[in-house]
Structure 1
Amino acid sequence: MNKIDLAFTPALELAKLIRVREVSPLELVEVYLERIERLNPQLGSYFTVTADLAVTDAIAKTELLTTTSELPPFFGVPISIKDLNVVAGVTCTYGNPALLNNIPNYDDGVVTRIKQAGFIILGKTATPELGSFPYTEPVGFTPARNPWNLEYTPGGSSGGAASSVAAGLSAIAQGSDGGGSIRGPAACCGLVGIKPARGRVTKAPVGDRLGGIAVNGPIARTVADAAAMLDVISGYFTGDPYWLPDPQPSFLASTQVKLENLNIAFSTNIFPFGEADANCQQGVIKTIQLLAQFGHQITEKSPDLSNLIEPFKIVWQAGVAAAGIPSEALQPLNRWLLAKSGSVAEYLQALAQMQIVSRQIIAFFDTVDVLVLPVYLHSPIPVGAWADLSPEETFAKIVHWVSPCPVANATGLPAIALPVGFDSNGLPLSVQLIGKPAAESTLISLAAQLEAANPWIEYRPAFATIS
């Protein structure tokens, strides 16, 4: 297998190749590091590349292959970590250049699980400052770009994570999602992104400042890769404020489960924002047509999301204040959000209101198994498209663009973004599946069914396939 094919091989297949000694962890790490050195200056996928640590880990794992056959599921497979998550001994900037010397001495719980699964960490991927925006252009860093077309954004806030996987600069990626930050980049870059249910993946060892709206999850090339990674990062850590039991069967096994006919609702209209653009509508309609062919029961309807908007905004704004970064060190939009953040009482009132509305939305799923929505309301924007707008204008555009996503964050429901084709600009086209509480397994089974009928893995960005 040539080096380009290796770089685009799904993570589970790479793990198998390592197990049968067809490729070593060191050979794989060298393939990805060479690609990062060559392509990252244009893509801006990584803030920090941990080449020395990755090579040292790969050498140790390659030697271990000669002494043991009992290996964790992703032994020797390279992965990237989003720069909102902490890796011991590695710079964590949160997208703010003032934190370039911030080197934590501990791992986030999700990173601990990733290491236990045998992954090798290649570096920290680009994120907008504090993960606040759905594009990845933080001041002081190279903007992250979409490998399908370098003029466009890979989305945000897991923009670098998605860009790294789509361009073959990592086999799989860890991301996080507080308002669409896994699903949006996965959609922009033609990948599978899972926003897990609340309590599925730990926030250890830190606390949860945002009422459970943000969660860690996988970004991958295939449904099986994403499901298998979700298996290894899921589970309780001591002191987690909420948690879910492990699924039976595993999430990976769910990719092979044949579903009974489901009740599936869909909409291309997010009230009060209106209809998705023609591209995003096309993704939903194409998916619904496939689901109808599979025998699922289809109804055009969606819950009322209008009362969710204002309390969600208040909770989101509070996240900027909770970061504890002085206003003068923040970028203009985050500085504006900080100035708008209210009192503790206003935050708690908004959180309570968001939970009340969430109960009403979750009741919609009493008679619906899956809701199909666009991921965003329009196609990816060019890099820098909103750079000259005022903070207020930019925030209004952000809220409109990502409006199909926050419902899953506010309610804690699981959701998946899945590629379904290309839009009129030649960029990936995606769709979002939202499930019942804690029902990732159903979403994964359904996504695997769609993936089998419309395989995506054969597509690669031309930019990333030149040796």
Structure 2
Amino acid sequence: MNETDLAFTPALELAQLIRRREVSPLELVNIYLERIERLNPQLGSYFTVMADLAIADAQAKTEILATTRELPAFFGVPISIKDLNAVAGVPCTYGNPALLNNILNYDDGVVTQIKQAGFVLLGKTATSELGSFPYSEPTGFPPARNPWNLDYTPGGSSGGAAASLAAGLCAIAQGSDGGGSIRGPAACCGVVGIKPSRGRVTNAPVGDRLSGIATNGPLARTVADAAALLDTISGYFPGDPYWLPDPQPSFLAATQKQLGELRIAFSTIIPPLGEADANCEQGVLQTVKLLEQLGHQVEEKCPDFSGLVEPFQIVWQAGVGAAGIPAEVLQPVNRFLLARSGSAAEYLQAVAQMQMVARQIVAFFNNVDVLVLPVYLHSPIRVGEWASLSPEETFQNIINWVAPCPPANATGQPAIALPVGFDSNGLPISVQLVGKPGAEETLISVATQLEAANPWLQHRPALAT
């Protein structure tokens, strides 16, 4: 297998190659670091490359490999970490250049779990400032670009994670999602992204994030890789404000599960915010037709999301103030959001309203197993496309674009984004599947069916090959 093929090999297969001693962790790390050095100047997908740390870790793991048979699941497999998450001894910028020297002395809980699984950390990937936006173009950093077409965004806020994965600059990636920040970049870049259920993945050592709308999750080339990484990062940490039991036997096992007939709902309209463009609509219609052919019961219907718009905005914009960064060093849209932030009482009223609407949405799933929606309402925007707009105009454009994503954050339900094809600009088209609370296994099983019926692993951006 040549180096390019190795770079695009799914993480689970790389783990097996390492176990069989057909490739070493050091060889893999060197392959990815060479690709990062060559392609990252065009992509802007990494803020920080941990080359020395990665090489030292891979060297140590390669030496262990010679003497040890009992290895953790992803021993020696290279992974990227989003630059909203803490890695001890490495800068954590949150997409703000004022924090370039913000070196933390602890690992986030998900990073601890990733290290325990044997992964080698390659670096910290690009994000929008504070994770606020569905594009990754923070002031003071090169803009992250889509490897399928460099004129376009890879999405946000996990834009660097998705771009690096799609371009073969890591084997698998960690991201986070507070309003579509895993699913959107996965859709823009043609990879798999899972937003887990609330309580599935810890936010340790910090506390609750915006009343539970945000969570860490996996991005991967295959459903099985995403499921296995979700297994890795799931689980309770002492003090977590809410948690779910671990799946039995595992999320990875759900990729082998035989499904009976499921009740599938779908919609290409997100009232009151709009409807999908032709590309995104076609992705949904193509997917539900395939699901019907696979034996599932399909019906066009959708919950009423209209009551979520205002309270979700209030909760979301409170995250800017909670970051504690002075307004003068923030980008204009974040300054705008900071200025709009209300009192603690207004925040709590919005949380209560959001949760009441969420109950109504979850009740829709009493008679539905999976809801198929677009990920975003239109194809990716160009890099800098909204730069000349006012903060108010930009924020409204964001709301209208990402409309299908925030409901699952508000309700805490799991959702998965899957690539299904390409548009006329050579950019991926994707759909999202939303499941019942805590029912990632069902989504993973359905996604595996769709992946088998419409394979996409063979597709690679021309830039990356």
Match of 1:119 in 2: 119
Asked if the contact 2:152/2:383 (under 8 Å) is kept, the reply is yes
Cα separation, 1, equivalents of 2:266 and 2:413: 16
Asked if the contact 1:210/1:315 (under 8 Å) is kept, the reply is yes
Cα separation, 1, equivalents of 2:209 and 2:54: 32
Match of 2:95 in 1: 95
Cα separation, 2, equivalents of 1:172 and 1:245: 24
Match of 2:139 in 1: 139
Match of 2:365 in 1: 365
Match of 2:216 in 1: 216
Match of 1:436 in 2: 436
Question: What's the offset of the Cα at 1:457?
Answer: 0.3
Question: Aligned with 1:204: secondary structure?
Answer: coil
Match of 1:238 in 2: 238
Cα separation, 2, equivalents of 1:131 and 1:298: 35
Match of 1:264 in 2: 264
Match of 1:32 in 2: 32
Asked if the contact 2:87/2:108 (under 8 Å) is kept, the reply is yes
Question: What's the offset of the Cα at 1:273?
Answer: 1.6
Asked if the contact 1:110/1:233 (under 8 Å) is kept, the reply is yes
- The number of residue pairs the alignment matches comes to 465
Asked if the contact 2:149/2:425 (under 8 Å) is kept, the reply is no
Match of 1:77 in 2: 77
Cα separation, 2, equivalents of 1:101 and 1:268: 44
Question: Aligned with 1:366: secondary structure?
Answer: coil
Instruction: Please report the TM-score for the alignment, with normalisation by the length of structure 2.
Output: 1.00
Question: What's the offset of the Cα at 1:83?
Answer: 0.2
Cα separation, 2, equivalents of 1:224 and 1:413: 20
Partner deviation per Cα, 1:111-168 (whole Å, 9 max, x = no partner): 0000000000000000010000000000000000000000000000000000000000
1:114-263 equivalences under 5 Å are 114-263=114-263
Asked if the contact 2:312/2:410 (under 8 Å) is kept, the reply is yes
Question: What's the offset of the Cα at 1:209?
Answer: 3.5
Asked if the contact 1:369/1:435 (under 8 Å) is kept, the reply is yes
Question: Aligned with 2:210: secondary structure?
Answer: coil
Cα separation, 2, equivalents of 1:294 and 1:28: 38
Cα separation, 2, equivalents of 1:455 and 1:73: 25
1:294-313 equivalences under 5 Å are 294-313=294-313
Question: Aligned with 2:58: secondary structure?
Answer: helix
Partner deviation per Cα, 1:41-75 (whole Å, 9 max, x = no partner): 01000000000000000000000001111111100
Question: Aligned with 1:219: secondary structure?
Answer: strand
Question: Aligned with 2:16: secondary structure?
Answer: helix
Asked if the contact 2:203/2:209 (under 8 Å) is kept, the reply is no
Amino acid at match of 1:343: S
Tell me if 1:397 matches 2:403: no
Tell me if 1:336 matches 2:336: yes
Cα separation, 1, equivalents of 2:445 and 2:172: 20
Cα separation, 1, equivalents of 2:152 and 2:9: 25
Question: What's the offset of the Cα at 1:424?
Answer: 2.2
Asked if the contact 1:187/1:429 (under 8 Å) is kept, the reply is yes
User: Structure 1 regions of 5+ residues with no counterpart?
Assistant: none
Partner deviation per Cα, 1:366-406 (whole Å, 9 max, x = no partner): 00000000000000000000000000000000000000000
Partner deviation per Cα, 1:264-284 (whole Å, 9 max, x = no partner): 000000001221000000000
Question: Aligned with 2:350: secondary structure?
Answer: helix
Question: What's the offset of the Cα at 1:103?
Answer: 0.2
Match of 2:288 in 1: 288
Cα separation, 2, equivalents of 1:18 and 1:308: 47
Asked if the contact 1:179/1:406 (under 8 Å) is kept, the reply is yes
Amino acid at match of 2:447: A
Cα separation, 2, equivalents of 1:93 and 1:81: 12
Instruction: Please report the TM-score for the alignment, with normalisation by the length of structure 1.
Output: 0.99
Moved more, 196-205 or 268-277: 268-277
Cα separation, 2, equivalents of 1:202 and 1:454: 33
1:393-432 equivalences under 5 Å are 393-432=393-432
Amino acid at match of 1:219: L
Asked if the contact 2:420/2:454 (under 8 Å) is kept, the reply is yes
Match of 1:44 in 2: 44
Asked if the contact 2:137/2:144 (under 8 Å) is kept, the reply is yes
Partner deviation per Cα, 1:3-44 (whole Å, 9 max, x = no partner): 100000000000000000000000000000000000000100
Amino acid at match of 1:148: W
Cα separation, 2, equivalents of 1:72 and 1:114: 10
RMSD in angstroms over aligned alpha carbons?
0.4
Runs of 4+ in 1 over 6 A off after TM superposition: none
Question: Aligned with 1:255: secondary structure?
Answer: helix
Asked if the contact 1:209/1:322 (under 8 Å) is kept, the reply is no
Question: What's the offset of the Cα at 1:423?
Answer: 1.4
Partner deviation per Cα, 1:292-325 (whole Å, 9 max, x = no partner): 0011000100000000000000000100000000
Cα separation, 2, equivalents of 1:87 and 1:421: 35
Cα separation, 2, equivalents of 1:425 and 1:288: 24
Cα separation, 2, equivalents of 1:458 and 1:17: 19
Asked if the contact 1:154/1:160 (under 8 Å) is kept, the reply is yes
Asked if the contact 1:161/1:219 (under 8 Å) is kept, the reply is yes
Cα separation, 2, equivalents of 1:326 and 1:373: 38
Tell me if 1:66 matches 2:66: yes
Match of 2:454 in 1: 454
Amino acid at match of 1:386: W
Cα separation, 1, equivalents of 2:434 and 2:307: 19
Question: Aligned with 1:416: secondary structure?
Answer: strand
Asked if the contact 2:274/2:400 (under 8 Å) is kept, the reply is no
Cα separation, 2, equivalents of 1:397 and 1:72: 44
Match of 1:279 in 2: 279
Partner deviation per Cα, 1:402-455 (whole Å, 9 max, x = no partner): 000000000000000000011122110100000001000000000000000000
Question: Aligned with 2:418: secondary structure?
Answer: strand
Asked if the contact 2:255/2:445 (under 8 Å) is kept, the reply is yes
Question: Aligned with 2:174: secondary structure?
Answer: strand
